[in-house]
Amino acid sequence: MFVNRRTAGEQLGEELLDRDVDADIVLAVPRGGLPLGRAVADRLDVPLDIIAAKKLGAPNNPELAIGAAASDGSLYRNDDVIDQLDVSEEYIEEQREWAAETARDKEATYRTGEPPDFDGKRVVIVDDGLATGATAIACIRMAEAAGAEHVVLAVPVGAPESVDEAAQEADEVVVLEEPMRFGAVGRHYEDFSQVSDEEAMAYLDRSQTP
C-alpha cells in the first residue's frame, strides 16, 4: 500500500537509481502519472515531459478495452478480446483514429512547448500503476517508433500478467509490487485522489510543483 502518488514516485526513483537506470528524459502518462513522474525526474535529475494514449472501447461496451492508441497512432490490440467479440477491422481503425486524436488533445492541454525529440534518447515512461497494460504498451511503441534508444517502463504496482506482457515490449520494466490479487490501481494507494488539470500542468513546471 502506497501513501500517495508522490511518495510512490519517490520510492520508484530510488529503485531506478539502485538499478543504475540511466535516463535522458522521464515521460509521465497524464494525469495520474504526473505526480510520480515529477518525483522520478527530480531524483534522476532529468527533464519531465508527457506521453499520452487512450484505450479503445469495445462496441456497445466502451468500458471494455480492446486495445489502446498513443498520440502518434501507435496501436496496441488485445487480440483475445477482439476475436471473442468479433470486432471488425473498420471499427478498430475508427477507434484508433479517435483515441489518437484524444491523446493528442491531452498532450496539447498539458504541454506548453514543443514535444521532445526521442531519437537516440534513453526514456523512462512512468504511470501510477499497470492494470491491463494497454495504454502503457501503446506509449512504449510510440517512444520506440520515435527512435528512442532504450525504453524503461516504471510503475509502483502492476498486475503480474500485465507486467509480463509489458516486459515483452520495453527494454526494461521496473515495478515495486506485483500483487496476485490486483483489482484496480487505486486499491494500492491510501490516497488516490484525482489529479486536476491545474495540478497536472504544475507538475510539468518544476518551479510550480504542488
Over the stretch 20-69, which tens digit does the pLDDT of each residue have? 999 999 999 999 999 999 999 999 999 999 999 999 999 999 989 999 99
- Using CA atoms, how far residue 204 sits from 29, 42, 71, in Å, is 12, 11, 18
Contact indicator for 128, 158 with CB cutoff of 8 Å: no
132 lies in the same domain as 184: yes
H/E element holding 172? strand 172-177
Percent residues over pLDDT 90 in the chain: 89
Question: Whole-structure pTM over 0.85, yes or no?
Answer: yes
User: What range defines the domain where residue 102 resides?
Assistant: 54-109
- Residue 114 in any domain: the answer is no
Domain limit, last residue, from 63, 80, 109: 109
Q: At residue 75, does pLDDT exceed 70?
A: yes
Residue with cell 506548453: 112
43 lies in the same domain as 127: yes
Confidence of residue 207 (pLDDT cuts 50, 70, 90): very low
CATH number at residue 101: 3.30.1310.20
Angle at 8 between CA 7 and CA 12, to 5 degrees: 115
135 lies in the same domain as 151: yes
3-state SS record for 19-33: CCCCCCEEEECCCCH
Q: What residue type is assigned to position 177 of the chain?
A: E
